[in-house]
Chain A
Amino acid sequence: GAGVSQSPSNKVTEKGKDVELRCDPISGHTALYWYRQSLGQGLEFLIYFQGNSAPDKSGLPSDRFSAERTGGSVSTLTIQRTQQEDSAVYLCASSLSLRDSTYEQYFGPGTRLTVT
């Protein structure tokens, strides 16, 4: 079946502009996660959704970052007034459920954001 999809695959934006990144999780997956990965670095957790609610936003680096999920499916990550340090690959993952005792996370291909 279809995996996690993300759009756009690449985004170049000017400093100060807002961007929206989209994630379509695997159908039926109730848990959704956003991470980012800077060049040569490991994963940095941003936010976790269970259904439409976000019980853990602790990883969002500043109030310029927000995310929402509607209908328990598609999620958008919005970055306002982008800064050069926001340049990274933004990865979305989904999993069946937090209650699944072996909940492997399936990742999308990522959106490469470049802020000039």
Chain B
Amino acid sequence: DAKTTQPPSMDCAEGRAANLPCNHSTISGNEYVYWYRQIHSQGPQYIIHGLKNNETNEMASLIITEDRKSSTLILPHATLRDTAVYYCIVRVASRSNDYKLSFGAGTTVTVRA
């Protein structure tokens, strides 16, 4: 897997957008960008993934740069319940043995009232 680099921590004001960056400069053409988060004392939670196009779902938006070397996860209106560690992962999908999720240190996001 390509390695990812994320800032160790960031604060966000409740109700504002949280923009979480991730660098993956060695990503290869068949690797997807996945985001998971882990709220304290809970299991990891899938958020969103993408290959090259920007993606949006009910939880977040994922913006991937044209060269695919970096991406940004956007939580449009952060709430206190979004306080968690956010993990950016790049991995191959489909007919591969790349099912073993492996998280780095992630970004600890603290949403403040």
Contacts and interface: CB of A to CB of B under 8 A. Distances in A.
A43 B97 CA distance: 17
Contact of B94 (A33, A91, A95, A99): A99
A48 B97 CA distance: 10
Contacts of A110: 42-43
Contacts of B46: 104-107
A45 B101 contact: yes
A106 B32 CA distance: 17
Interface residues of A, number: 26
A91 B102 contact: no
A108 B42 CA distance: 8
A45 B102 contact: yes
A42 B104 contact: yes
Interface of B is mostly: loop
Interface string A6-40: 00000000000000000000000001010100000
A4 B42 CA distance: 12
Size range of the interface on B? 10 to 19
Interface in B88-110: 93-95, 97, 99-105
Contacts of B101: 33, 35, 43, 45, 93, 105
B67 to A, nearest CB: 22
B26 interface: no
Contact of A43 (B45, B49, B103): B103
A102 B95 contact: no
B102 A101 contact: no
A100 B93 CA distance: 8
Contacts of A98: 95, 99
A100 B105 CA distance: 27
24 contacts: A33-B101, A42-B102, A42-B104, A43-B44, A43-B101, A43-B103, A45-B100, A45-B102, A48-B100, A91-B43, A98-B95, A98-B99, A99-B94, A102-B32, A103-B99, A104-B34, A104-B46, A104-B49, A105-B46, A105-B99, A106-B46, A107-B44, A107-B46, A109-B42
